[in-house]
Structure 1
Amino acid sequence: MHRILPPVLPPRRLQRTPLLTSRCLLLTLAAGLFTACVGPFHSPAADDAQAARRMASYRTDFEHYRGTEASLPPGMFVTADGPSGETGGDSFDPFTGVHEYSPNSAYSFDGFGAFTADRSRYSFGIREHGPVDMQNARLYLEYSNTTVFPIIGFEVSYEVQVWYLGQRDNQIRLKYNTDSSGFGDLADIAATRNPMGDYTADGLPLDGTRSVNSVRVRTSFMLEELQQTDGSSAGIPTLQPGAVGYFRWQFSNAEHDDGGIRSGLALDRIRITPILAGEQ
């Protein structure tokens, strides 16, 4: 007797129907949604703002400055008046080249000079009413918002050094404005006296790079919080992408303003970092 076996059929293939395709698509989307929800969480806008903040930061150590207008760091310029009221660039040149400190230095560290102790590090020096009878001395930085974010404030730091101790202690004052003029009614963001504090009847050259002769200034501010000298709002707007603002460092009298010999101060290691809307 022969047993008749059923024919061997090929494996049945699962046919892809519209209903099955829809179910697979739903499962795929659900899996992707679950993966997205478990993190880690990142905000592309916040990440972009942090990167833009780093890219838009400004710094200078005045390493190429040699006491001439041509050697000023990019974006910087000065204003000053001569003894008869001449403005720099007319018949009056406030730049005085390199002044190098030594214990028996004959330099008076005056005008706009490059102050140094070893010619490997240079600072932006300011001294009014020296042999170069400069007055109303100002250093400006033109800062452009190169990001796509509005700038709502800044973090700023720099060194103030004393290289020539005079009868007046003098100080460096920082202000910010959206124009290169109109600073007179604005309150100081920072005002830093001669780091030595004392003063002398005779001019005394010093090494401004020594810690006893320098101080590090650190400040941060929001533009909307800046004030005028009377305490009212300065009305400084947010710095929009592509717009320009101005930082100004001003040499002026401080507490001791008797005597004719001014102190020679300097700026170095300036760091400016914007605070951007959208990075919070």
Structure 2
Amino acid sequence: MAAQFRQSAQQKASSSSSSSSSEQQVSKPGEVPCDVCTGTKLKALKSCLVCLASYCETHLEPHLTMSGLKRHQLIDPVENLEGRMCTKHDKLLELFCKTDQMCVCMLCTYSDHKTHDVVPLKEGYEGKKAELVKTEAEIQQMIQKRQMKIKEIRHSVELSEEDADREIAEGVQVFTALKESVERSQAELVDMIKEKQRKTEKQAEGFIKQLEQEISELKKRSAEVEQLSQSEDHLHVLQSFTSLNAAPSTKNWTNISVRPPKYEGTMSLPE
């Protein structure tokens, strides 16, 4: 019957297809085309589950006007109508087996699914649709929880960044103060060491000056003694001997020395 109708529809619509194609939409990729159209395929308006064919507006008209075709079940256009037929009985899949969770035809309820819980396709659809609504709500809830978790993590990162910036600022402040303190201590240490060295040098210069003065006096006495020792004047030698025989008064330098200043405890490295 479906084949006869398809052939009849093609013959009836051939004369009007050229004029109707300009008014109706041409099938685009992803859209269901009319199975009756020849040449340019128009977009299908409905699919018939009895004829297992999809029809554009023009070729659908017999289903809307002919009494025998009005009883056919029309649905929104879909592809692969053959997939809606039972592969075992070649009948329309119009029932849903809740036991095996599969679509079946009427004849299946008398054989493989005889004792199973079988409901009309619409009832099975409504049940599954309710489950899908529930699943969708659960998924949306999961999405919202994860979005909230993302916000929470990002907020934690912001807080962590603020803490890090604050710690860096405080650390820089501490180390800047420590650096300044070390530099002051270094300057004080250098000044103290230099001051001790200046005192040591001043003491050494005083000793050297005294020694040079004594050397000068000793050289003078040495010259006088040498001159006296070469004199042939008996009276002069005897009269001058007492005053020149002894060395001039000088300082005892035996236990006198310049000792470097002590720096123990001035600077100690951490262990």
Normalized per residue, the structure richer in helix is: 2
**Bucket of the pairwise TM-score, normalised by the shorter protein:** under 0.3
Larger Rg: 2
TM-score (norm 2): 0.20
With a CA cutoff of 8 Å and minimum separation of 6, indicate the structure with the bigger relative contact order.
Answer: 1
**TM-score, with structure 1 as normaliser:** 0.20
Greater per-residue strand proportion: 1
